[in-house]
Chain A
Amino acid sequence: MRSVASVDVIRKLRSPIAIVCQSLRHMGLSSILIVVQLFFGFLSLLLAIGLFFGINSFANQVQFLMPNNTLSINVDISTHAMDGNRTSYRKLLALKQKIAQLNDVAGIGMYDLSSSFGFTQAPENEVGKLPMSQFSTQPIALVSNTFVQHMKVATQGEPLSAITHFSRKNSKVFPIWVGSALASQYPLGTRLIAMTYYTPPVGSTAEATVDEMPCQVVGIISSDAEFFANNGANLGAFSLQSCTNLILGPVSMFMWNKKSSEANLILSDNMQVYPLPGKEAELKANIYAILHQRKMHGMVHSVEDQLNALAKQQKPSIVSTFLVAVSLLSLSVLGHISVLLSSLIKRRKEFGIRLLIGARKASLLQLVMAEILGLYVLALILSLGIMLNLSDWLDKWLVVINLPTILLAVGITLFLSLLASIIPLRRLSRQTTVRLIQGE
């Protein structure tokens, strides 16, 4: 007879605001309740998903940059003060050379202390096989946006040919490695400010490495000396705070400017070794033997070990955010059902009237669905607004808020809220017209 059974709805769908108004008009407080429930449910779900994906994508990118069989040697050089650092740096270089001579080594790099001034060297004859060669012999670039400002102040007009800064937002990769890659774009002699995630020794290591670098480092900033002193550079390599710490960074910069020895604390260092295929275990044992022989303390981890450690470290937070999300969403679903049921009961008379004047039952269901969708969109806008505003901060905690995670969270909550609407809507559709019209 006519195809427009739900004109009322279609007309309103043209404007989401109108739908929300319509819902508020008909459901009053109930609709606000639905919005609030959806809001928190969505927020927590997005957080959980963002964290889950954040850690995974971080791990993926680490693996992209580092071959899986890469071994990290975390060496304890336990030194204080500048002189000691120079000594320990020499010790490290010697260690590196010794390890490089091992038969099962395909390549070796020093990525923390040394890669700040970066070099990765492979034995001449192995260069072709070295998957990490793109990182070799390059100085490091800068880290956070805010730092750039601080550094401009701190260098007091010292001319810089390039300030490269790195934000985790654009590239979810650990900045030292990215820095190495970025710096390869600069010509020899470019004056760069280097940002590292722990405090390098001014005047000792810096000097030593400057000689080996194609670029000139005019400043080095550490973001979180203490954190790394306590946790070891290796662990810290997976911590985000270290890269974007906005407080400790400038403080270290200030101290560096003052040439304060307290800022020059190194407790450990980190090298990357690339074993020949199938030689991982052997190499690991050999490195331990060398460390032992030289009376140096150190740990040798595979990338996998480190990523597993990261995953293990983050597991409780992923699990707990998911638990929170699941409970909030269940609450939201239950609340949704009960609010909807009670509002449908309250609206029986209205539905009866609509039927009386010739609305089809399907159009009533569509009307309610459209209103629910309207409320859903409102909740979505509110929570997305908040999450996107917090995304920089969340990023530090490895929580990624991007299109895929948003879409996933939207999909799940939309599905749940539609699911939650089925029971009330079925109940509505089972009512006979007479009973609805009588408002019973």
Chain B
Amino acid sequence: MALIELSHVSKTYGKGETAFRALRDVTLSIDQAEKVAIIGRSGSGKSTLLHILAGIDTVTDGSYCFMGQAMRGISQNQAADLRNTHFGIVVQQFALIKEYTVVENVELPLLYRGVPKRQARKKALAMLERVGLHRFEKRRPYELSGGQQQRVGIARALVNEPEVLLADEPTGALDQTTAAEILALFDEIHRSGLCLIIVTHDLEVAHSCQRIIQIADGQVVTP
């Protein structure tokens, strides 16, 4: 059984004349420990797909099963809990809370999960070490470079030991060298057994993956 199964998924934004179909009849499945790139032009529906996978958004038509469980009809709270425990999400603009220090950012998912403070701190520090930022834990996000901020984002995404890491243009805001470092980190994460789904329009990033899913106008196309 595949980890992620989408069948005939459509997503329509708005209603009536202004209705816009961002995804049409998307059917795909992704296995555990796969490393998949979702590519396509800007506006093709990549982020929409990622949002649906992460349970941030819901499908208009079709069905989405995660770990064999239908995602349709689950409550907002259940979706939040799924995101917290099974998904790690990394975005282009890093999405760090600027009022929090690096380590406070990383431990937050653990705290939402109910892990005691001290234990959470310990785990967050270990995760920071894994992404090579153990000496930066007391800094604020804006005191770090883009590459370092993205590492914090990745550490936060991994800290709850999710099954899937979803990344939306993770290298989009980074220069080439830094991007390469992040890709290397992804590689290492993948080797540890995680399923990686990377949305990108960067072909170099895409080619570092085992499989490429191309989207055009909301539809999956065979490259």
CB distance from A346 to the nearest CB of B (A): 11
| A381 CB contacts on chain B under 8 angstroms | none
Q: Which of A1, A350, A356, A432 has the most CB of B within 10 A?
A: A356
Q: In the docked arrangement, what's the CA distance between A34 and B79, Å?
A: 34
Is B139's beta carbon under 8 Å from chain A? Answer: no
Whether B80 lies near A359 (C-beta < 8 A) is: yes
Contact B85 A434 (CB under 8 A): no
**A25-B99 contact, Cβ under 8 Å, with A8-B111, A356-B89:** yes
Produce 1/0 per residue, A349-365, CB < 8 A to B.
11011111111111100
Interface 0/1 of B91-127, CB less than 8 Å to A: 1000111010000000011011111010000000000
Q: Are A5 and B77 in contact (CB under 8 A)?
A: yes
Mark out the residues of chain B between 47 and 102 whose CB falls within 8 Å of any chain A CB in the assembled complex.
51, 56-57, 76-85, 87, 89, 91, 95-97, 99
B-chain residues with CB within 8 Å of residue A2 when the two chains form the complex: 81, 113-114
Complex alpha-carbon distance, A233 and B189, angstroms: 91
How far, in Å, is B121 (CB) from chain A's closest CB? 12
B143-198: which have CB < 8 Å to A?
156-157, 160
Q: Which residues of B contact A1 (CB under 8 A)?
A: 77-78, 81, 85
CB of B108, distance to nearest CB on chain A (Å): 6
Closest chain A residue, CB of each to CB of B100: A25
| Count class of interface residues, chain B | 20 to 34
**Would you call B99 and A26 a contact (CB within 8 A)?**
yes
A360 to chain B, nearest CB (A): 5
Does A4 sit within 8 A of B, measured CB to CB?
yes
Please name all residues of chain A whose beta carbon is closer than 8 Å to the beta carbon of B108 when the two chains form the complex: 8, 354, 357
Distance to closest chain A CB from B160 (angstroms): 8
Interface size on A, residues (CB 8 A): 28
CA distance A349 to B114 in the complex (A): 23
Contacting pair A353 B77 (CB below 8 A): no
In the complex, A349 Cα to B99 Cα: how many Å? 12
Given A350-B97, A358-B80, A361-B80, residue A11 in contact with residue B111 (CB < 8 A): yes
B-side contacts of A363, CB under 8 Å: 112
Closest to A28 in B: B99
A291 at the binding interface (Cβ < 8 Å): no
> Is A66 part of the binding interface, using a Cβ–Cβ cutoff of 8 Å?
no
Point out the residues of chain A lying under 8 angstroms from B115, CB to CB.
7
In angstroms, Cα B80 to Cα A352, docked, is 12
Interface: A3 (CB within 8 A): yes
- CB–CB B114/A357 < 8 A: no
Q: Are A358 and B81 in contact (CB under 8 A)?
A: yes
B81 nearest in chain A by CB position: A1
**Inter-chain contacts of A355 with B (CB < 8 A):** 56, 80, 83
**Whole-angstrom distance from the CB of A352 to the nearest CB of chain B?**
7
In angstroms, Cα B149 to Cα A353, docked, is 14
16 contacts between A and B (CB under 8 A): A7-B114, A11-B111, A350-B99, A354-B97, A354-B108, A355-B56, A357-B83, A357-B109, A357-B156, A358-B84, A358-B87, A358-B109, A359-B112, A361-B76, A361-B77, A432-B57
5 closest A-B pairs by beta carbon, nearest first, are: A358-B84, A4-B114, A358-B83, A357-B109, A1-B81
- Residues of chain A touching chain B, judged by Cβ–Cβ distance below 8 Å, are 1-5, 7-8, 11, 25-26, 349-350, 352-363, 432-434, 437
Q: A355-B56, A357-B156 are in contact. List 17 more A-B contacts (CB 8 A).
A: A1-B77, A5-B112, A7-B112, A7-B113, A8-B108, A353-B96, A354-B112, A355-B83, A356-B56, A357-B83, A357-B84, A357-B89, A358-B84, A358-B109, A358-B113, A361-B77, A437-B56
